[in-house]
Amino acid sequence: MSWFSIHNKRDIGQQKEAQAKQWLSQQGLKIIAENYHCKGGEIDLIAIESNGSFEDTLVFIEVKYRKQNDFGHPSEFVNANKQRHLIHCAQCYLQQHPQYGHYAMRFDVIGYLADAEQPEWIQNAFGI
C-alpha cells in the first residue's frame, strides 16, 4: 500500500467520523469525546444519549466506511477482536471518568458506504 493510499484512507476515515459526529448530534446524542486512545485501542466517538426521565446512556461508537460492499457491509468489520479492544477502551474510559460509572452503556456502529446518503446506525451492535 502506498504512502498516498494510507493517508487518503486516514483522511476519509476522519471525514466519515466528522460526518458521524454531526449526524449523531442531529439524532440527539451529545458527543463528549472523539478518538479516545488507550493502550490497545481507540474509540472513535463517545456520546451521551439522554432518555428524558430514564437513565442516561453512555454510547461508545465505532465508525466504519467502505468504498464498496463486495466484501461485506462496513459494520461486519467490527469483529470479535475489534470488539474486545473497544470493550477494553471503554473500561479504561470509565476508570478515568468515574462520573459516568452509573450510566447505562452500549456499543454502536455507524456504517458508511460510498454511495449511501445516510449511514446505517446499529445500536447495541454487541455487548460485553
pLDDT tens string 6-59: 457 677 778 999 999 999 999 999 999 999 999 989 999 999 999 876 789 999
Mean per-residue pLDDT, 100-112 = 94
pLDDT tens string 43-55: 999 999 998 767 8
Cell of 6: 494510507
Tell me how long the chain is.
128
pLDDT at 68: 60
| 105: three-class secondary structure by DSSP | strand
pLDDT at 3: 44
pLDDT tens string 69-86: 656 665 667 889 999 999
What domains can you pick out in the chain, each with its CATH number? 3-126 (3.40.1350.10)
State the Cα–Cα distance between residues 1 and 64, nearest whole angstrom. 19
State the Cα–Cα distance between residues 114 and 83, nearest whole angstrom. 24
Over its C-alpha atoms, the chain yields an Rg (Å, rounded) of 15
